[in-house]
Amino acid sequence: MREREAPMHIDATGLTCPLPVLRLQKALRGLPPATTICLHATDPMARIDVPHFLREHGHVLVETTAKPEAAPGGLTLYEFVICTR
């Protein structure tokens, strides 16, 4: 039995709109369906932009978590778990 692979990680902390979504878009290119990606961002607009981008492109937002003061500088860390389609 093959071990489950760890999700791909994208670090967009410290980047502002639209860079977190652009990093995600670049990472999604050519990935097979059912690939899990974890995106970390600190830009509050990512809470709006990432789900909208995923809906527009047919991917699934599995989970979103906000972790107050978890990022450098005491910023909130937004974690998005995504499954490709």
Per-residue model confidence as pLDDT tens digits over 28-54: 998 999 999 999 999 999 999 999 999
Q: What structural domains and CATH numbers belong to the chain?
A: 8-83 (3.30.110.40)
Residue 17 annotated among the catalytic residues of the structure: yes
Q: What is the pTM of this model?
A: 0.91
> pLDDT, tens digit, for every residue of 54-83?
999 999 999 999 999 999 999 999 999 999
Q: What is the pLDDT of residue 4?
A: 56
**Sheet-wide strand order for 60-67:** 8-12, 36-41, 77-83, 60-67
pLDDT at 3 over 90: no
Task: State the DSSP string of 2-49.
Answer: PPPPPPEEEEETT--TTHHHHHHHHHHTTPPTT-EEEEEE--TTHHHH
For residue 67, give every residue at least 6 positions away whose Cβ sits within 8 Å of its Cβ, in sequence order, or none: 76, 77, 78, 79
Residue of 15, 17, 22, 75 marked active site: 17
Question: Which stretch of DSSP H or E encloses residue 70?
Answer: none
